Amino acid sequence: MRVTLPRRRPRGGTSGSTGLKVREYMTSDVVTVGRTANVAQIASLLREHRITGVPVVDDERRLLGIVTHEELINIFVPHYLSMFDDLAFLDDLSGIEAQTMAEIEPSLFLAEDVMVEGPVTVRPETSILKVAALLTNKKLVLIPVVDDGNRLVGVINRSDVSCALAGATPKEPE
């Protein structure tokens, strides 16, 4: 089956720059946490807001890092399990699970303990195509959008980029 996409007129500035920009598709009303939020609180925020990660910011909204589901899961999955491509030979992980859960108290792990420091960031004027490449090449789920002072102004995720590339209407300013 062959699909032919309709041609779209390029959007963009008048000085010869065309194309889709992050500012058109990013989420600017971002759920964030401070460095002392514990992982139980972070997991609850991710579930409540149906998001894949949260930026960690200071009091002036300067980006310190990011915590996604991956960082939370990695706390509990013994690292040696990552050596196996297929875990089918392990029928029952309940022993490992019981030991892991007994040894780890989620409320003792803070955002600053598990966050990815110095995450990939983009600016509002970054092209959507560049963000798409970053998301796929680096296997990211979302990217913080920052200003020149490294202050968080939004986030852009895979869904936002998919909508942009598929021609969906940009988000209304929040």
- List, in sequence order, every residue forming a beta bridge with 110; answer none if it has no partner: 38
Cβ count within 10 A of residue 10: 9
Buried b (16+ CB within 10 A) or exposed e, 18-52: eebbbbbbbbeebebbeeebbbebbeebbeeeebb
CA-wise closest residue to 55 among 25, 74, 27? 27
pLDDT digits (tens), the chain, 174 positions? 444 444 443 444 433 445 899 999 999 999 999 999 999 899 999 999 999 999 999 999 999 999 999 998 888 776 655 656 555 556 555 665 555 555 666 677 899 999 999 999 999 999 999 999 999 999 999 999 999 999 999 999 999 999 999 987 776 655
Domain ranges of the chain: 22-166
The Cα 5–Cα 121 span in angstroms is 30
62: tokens are: 């300067």
CA atoms of 166 and 127, how far apart (whole Å)? 15
Q: Give the pTM.
A: 0.76
Measured CA to CA, the distance from residue 24 to residue 43 in angstroms comes to 28
Q: What's domain 22-166's superfamily in CATH?
A: CBS-domain (3.10.580.10)
